[in-house]
Chain A
Amino acid sequence: MNLLGELIGTFLMFVGFIGVLAGSLLYRMKQEDLGKMYTSATMMGGGELSDAPMVRFLTRIRGNDSLKKKWAIRILLGGLAMAVIGAWIT
């Protein structure tokens, strides 16, 4: 049980770290960079109603900096929470 707990805790800390990183990056990301990412992600046939989750997400936060920041903070806090829970479990 102890080993399993450490395994789960370490995994949660890792995912949490990725979440914190992704949230911080998204928070700092400029709208123009989102635009570039959007065109690249939809290159060769993509578009605004693409089925790809990445494109759907980009479509939601494009051209709306406050929504983008809200999402960034959510991801960051979620990651932080996961990391704390992971540390507590281990």
Chain B
Amino acid sequence: MMLYTAEELASETRSLSETALDELDRGNMDQVRFLLGRMSVGHIELYFGYLDWVTRLAGKILRDFGEAYFENASGKIARFLMAPYAEGLKQGDEKGAVAGIMSLWSHQLGKIDPLGETDNEVAFSLAPCGSGGRLVLGSVYEISPDKYPRLRDGKPLFCRICQHLQGAVNEASGKTFWSAVPDPERTGFCRVRFTKHTSRGKQLFHAEEMYPLVTPRCHQALKRLQSSRMDIQDLLRDQHTEWRSLHDLLNLWVTALFSTIYEEKGMPYLSELVWETYVTMFESTYRMYSMMETRSLFRNLVRMWYYHQATFRVSEEEDRFVFHLDPCGSGGRLYRGEVLMPGVFRYGTGMLRESLEADDITFGRAPFPIYCIHCAATNRDQFEGKPWSFIIDGEAMSEPAAPCIQYLYKKEAPRVAPPKLLKQVGLREAKPLEEEYIL
């Protein structure tokens, strides 16, 4: 059954920022403020999902191979990811390095208080930190120590990954530039310091430069509205791309780890890693799919794709919605070498590897962009009795220029899977929906 006319579908697939711009034009300021609130946390589940996934991945390799292996792998990934950040620093651009690093933190849904700038340093308080601090405040290390283990010295795992990133920047630039130290008096709070070297004694940031550095655009827009300024179009436009650098960094971290594990531990362990850390996280998506009706699921997925940095169009079929992702914002952009810094991070260069073996988690393809294995794993999981909330056609993006295709099956649709999609993940037929998902 078709749910939308062509016009309705076009309207439903607009981004929140486009809608907010229209409401602004109409002068509907209550609606603009409401949308600003939504947009300010538009990436919430993607960001928290990545944060949890990275920590679970690190947790599993720590548990399975020990601390020395984790330290080595995390250190290697950090050096790979931070090399471009350190490049500018080596040439003396300390202001650019501070701005680049703080742009990552400012979208972590935590508060940042500038502590001021002296002749020797620029300092901030993460109050609390939206990544490592959030995990500590959420007590995940105590609630699920098997999935979120601490290191032998008691240090939270994600905070150690952050330390590796700091160490990598400092090592590559040849100076102690970046440090983050947990506040001993307040759990989850952290003090970040950038030590000046080439710019010692110089003022790097004026007060008006510091504010946008640590304040997301939605908050800036609300501030302008409070002072009766209506010129917020520049802050609204494409707001979903604002957290892109943080999104891409997390995406690259996962891909670099997958590449390392594939090379050092082989495909069977890589498969176990993705099933144990990622597929299990989809459980909450399945539960919500069971609880929500199709239109709501569709709208939510549209928002997710925008904040997942995808460029897409949608068509509707009798039994499903088809998202033409050209490209998908994570795996697709990476396949095209567009992630974080265009042209810098590509498969086949640095640490990023394609899988050379065809497997259920590569949709039966080889070579295969290794980040995308998680989509094959969840495809199989869904065909084995879970709701069809996020099915991928694993052959669609057979080469970087092709778009990826994702399906959202309508809840009312019969559970008939195209044989091609089943074959891609090594199945002959789909199992009926498990009873626990039928509400």
Contacts and interface: CB of A to CB of B under 8 A. Distances in A.
A49 interface: yes
Given A40-B41, A42-B300, A45-B389, A35 B35 contact: yes
Contact of B285 (A31, A37, A44, A63): A44
A30 B295 CA distance: 27
Nearest to B282: A44
A76 to B, nearest CB: 20
B407 to A, nearest CB: 16
Contacts of A52: 291
Secondary structure class of chain B's binding surface, majority of residues:
helix
Contacts of A34: 34, 37
Interface stretch (B25-33, B248-256, B416-424): B25-33
A67 B287 CA distance: 32
B42 A39 contact: yes
Given A31-B37, A63-B30, A63-B31, A48 B296 contact: yes
A39 B38 contact: yes
Interface string A37-78: 111101111111111100000000011110000000000000
Most chain B CB inside 10 Å of its own CB: which residue of A32, A34, A42, A43: A32
A62 B34 contact: yes
A39 B41 contact: yes
Contacts of A65: 30
B30 A36 contact: no
Nearest to A32: B37
Contacts of B300: 42, 44-47
B299 interface: yes
A32 B33 contact: yes
Interface string B285-326: 101110111011111100000000000000000000000000
A47 B30 contact: no
A35 B296 contact: no
Given A44-B288, A45-B389, A63-B28, A38 B37 contact: yes
A45 B285 CA distance: 6
A36 B40 contact: yes
Nearest to B35: A35
Contacts of A32: 33-34, 36-37, 40, 218, 222
Contacts of A38: 34, 37-38
Nearest to B218: A32
B28 A45 contact: no
A2 B370 CA distance: 73
Interface residues of A, number: 26
Contacts of B389: 45
Nearest to A47: B296
Most chain B CB inside 10 Å of its own CB: which residue of A36, A44, A50, A64: A44
A5 B123 CA distance: 61
B41 A36 contact: yes
Given A30-B33, A35-B35, A45 B297 contact: yes
B38 A47 contact: no
Contacts of A36: 37-38, 40-41
Most chain B CB inside 10 Å of its own CB: which residue of A36, A51, A52, A65: A36
B33 A31 contact: yes
Contact of B297 (A47, A62, A63): A47
Given A31-B30, A35-B35, A35-B36, A40 B292 contact: no
Given A32-B222, A51-B291, A63-B30, A42 B296 contact: yes
B151 interface: no
Contacts of B291: 45, 50-52
Nearest to A62: B34
B45 interface: yes
Most chain A CB inside 10 Å of its own CB: which residue of B33, B36, B40, B222: B33
A73 B338 CA distance: 52
Contacts of B30: 31, 63-65
Interface in B1-46: 23, 28, 30-31, 33-42, 44-45
Given A32-B33, A63-B33, 5 more contacts: A34-B34, A35-B33, A39-B38, A51-B292, A62-B31
* 6 smallest beta-carbon distances between A and B, as pairs: A35-B37, A47-B296, A45-B288, A63-B31, A32-B37, A31-B33
Interface of B: 23, 28, 30-31, 33-42, 44-45, 218, 222, 284-285, 287-289, 291-293, 295-300, 389
